[in-house]
């Protein structure tokens, strides 16, 4: 008997688009250096960034 089962790999496509950038208070702002920002993407993911200048 064959006890092997097929393995399937779902390809994940990265089609996320930036929706908006907010500061730590939730206010929508344009990106600025030396301020912690949260980038919100169309797939629901969030990314915390600080650009140090």
pLDDT per residue of the chain (53 residues) written in tens, 0 to 9:
567 777 777 666 678 999 999 999 999 999 989 999 999 999 999 999 999 99
The ranges assigned to domains in the chain are 18-49
Strand order, beta sheet including 18-23: 18-23, 37-41, 46-49
Integer distance in angstroms from the first to the last C-alpha of the chain? 64
Tokens 């006890």 label which residue?
3
Alpha-carbon distances of 35 from 14, 19, 27, 39, 50, rounded to whole Å: 27, 19, 13, 12, 6
pLDDT value of position 15:
84
Instruction: Give the whole-angstrom CA distance, residue 22 versus residue 38.
Output: 5
């Amino acid at each position: 008997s064959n006890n092997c089962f097929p393995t399937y790999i779902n390809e994940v496509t990265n089609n996320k688009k930036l929706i908006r950038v907010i500061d730590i208070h939730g206010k929508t702002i344009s990106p600025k250096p030396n301020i912690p920002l949260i980038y919100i993407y169309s797939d629901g993911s969030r990314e915390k960034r600080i650009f140090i200048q």
